[in-house]
Chain A
Amino acid sequence: MPPFGKVLVANRGEIAVRVMKAIKEMGMKAVAVYSEADKYALHVKYADEAYYIGPPPALESYLNIQAIIDAAEKAHADAVHPGYGFLSENADFAEAVVKAGLTWIGPPVDAMRAIKSKLDGKRIAKQAGVPISPGSDGPVDSLDEALKLAEKIGYPIMVKAAFGGGGTGITRVDNPDQLVEVWERNKRLAYQAFGKADLYIEKAAVNPRHIEFQLIGDRYGNYVVAWERECTIQRRNQKLIEEAPSPALKMEERERMFEPIIKFGQIIHYYTLGTFETVFSDTTREFYFLELNKRLQVEHPITEMIFRIDLVKLQINIAAGEHLPFTQEELNKRVRGHAIEYRINAEDPLNDFTGSSGFITYYKEPTGPGVRVDSGVTLGSYVPPFYDSLISKLIVYGENRAYAIQAGIRALNDYKIGGVRTTIELYKWISQEEDFQKGKFSTAYIAEKREQFLKFLKTKEQMKAALAATLYQRGLLKKITTTSTSVQTQSQTKRSNWKTYGLMQQSSYRVMW
């Protein structure tokens, strides 16, 4: 008997499709919501029913609580799954879902409120016995106070927005001058993005790894930790490649974290899935708590691959009042092999990862042993400029890390996407790079290797263009518009200027639409 009749997925893209797959497998109906920009999107086609919720900007559609509740009522849905991002960690939305008489597939509203800001999370982590990095106990009121505290704990420090996520409003500061420079700007950005300007500071770990633990709990107080995911390969504090288990941890180091994480869950009566984010120092072998993410994570498939469980189905069953189907001991016995996830973003790594929107004109997904693709696009899909750039995820599995990397290289070579730029070529380079293969990296990896991969990517792009020119000169390339004159008539906004794009700086931040 399926737990619900119909579930509305309050999201878009690959995660909406992924959640709907679980819904369908469980014998339920899946309901999609969509903005004007997503009228023809894959998640809309894949759903059993779809409801229009507003114009392209997310604030008017995917972040519009009332429009989504209205759609759920119109569809006669029984439950709402929020995916990740958008409203997934919004307690007001969860409350509105419950008030509308629907089941919220996520953590209890009170638990969400208890860790609303990252500072609340830090306080509870301390109580649960999780190490936290030195810094302010609460929001820092003034720049003067920040300067004094920074002097005391020592530079480098991190300035962070108390609310929000996805790397927004996080800046590393190496000296007092920089602190003066970023303080007001980060306050403004935090306010713009999250409606609250609270900032706090903490000591920055130098070259840390980003390791997160998967907490799973039911409403009867049972908890397990489905080990960890290594999410160290990042750019702008946003993850690119994740793997499970972490190549850096020993079994006893991993197990050391289970008890305090479960204690944390017990303190706030948290149930469903949660991700306990930490930084880990290779030198001191210490973890420091970052935050508890109250949602299904982008990178959940790698945990699914090594434990052979379906986290979305588990999440739905827990929301329906089921007990956890395994103990920690049983779960530990299930673990096999190694999994890697590559986030396929519509971005240009050659141009500082700027978004690349447009129509997908060529699309061929890899298949075969150890390969899974969670995609939100297909041939002909439009990648709109309004939302984030993740279009699909390539997940590979091998009986050990080396085999998983080999499967990754093969699958990346087989994955072809035309019409938008993607991060695929970059991942091919990373997967064959020596330090990555040895598991020797920190969150600074992308910045440190920048020159090397840029050179590789640029050469590869130029080689393709050179080959195109050769094919053209030899008459092997047909159906191409050609002009053989230096005089070109072009509109003022589309000049024939072939090289002088503006220089892009790396200082970008995430904004809410």
Chain B
Amino acid sequence: MSSRDAMLAKIRRNRPEGPALPDIHAVPFVTFDDKFAAFAGLIRNLGGEAVMLAEGQTVAEVVARRWPNPGRVVDLTLMQHAEAFTPHDWQDVDIAIVPGDLAVAENAAVWISHPDNIFRSLYFLTEKLVMVVPRDKLVDTMRDAYGQIAIREHGFGAFIAGSSRTADIEQSLVMGAHGAMAALVIFC
């Protein structure tokens, strides 16, 4: 017998009794009167910042004001598809501007997933990550978020909350472990 079949047979033999699956929607979860305020307040502690785009203002303007000397910028909100890039080509990107499908008020996470997965390494190689989210796509909790995302479609997707960070040296919080050193979420 293969390891697979032997393992499954043993699990079947040993498996205990268990309850039925609970209905996770039967429980009321927290809601926020002002989802943007909750999101913006949280992300400050997570090495990020959130702004609401003003009338007539563009994403490019907000980014330029924050980082006047940007270096290499890749803007996926403009780019439709990549031309023969390798994942390593993004290693010197300073600012990546990427579309976010939705944002979560309870933890300041943004769902990132792109139809063209050649961009996958960009989210993590860039020095600064700008996530652009439609303002009506702010949900309360992760339960609501998972209700809205189509996970298998693109093969990869991530919730990203703020900047890369670590506290592995004496519990001192340091921004910029491996991924982006700064995160900016723009609601448009």
Same assembly: no
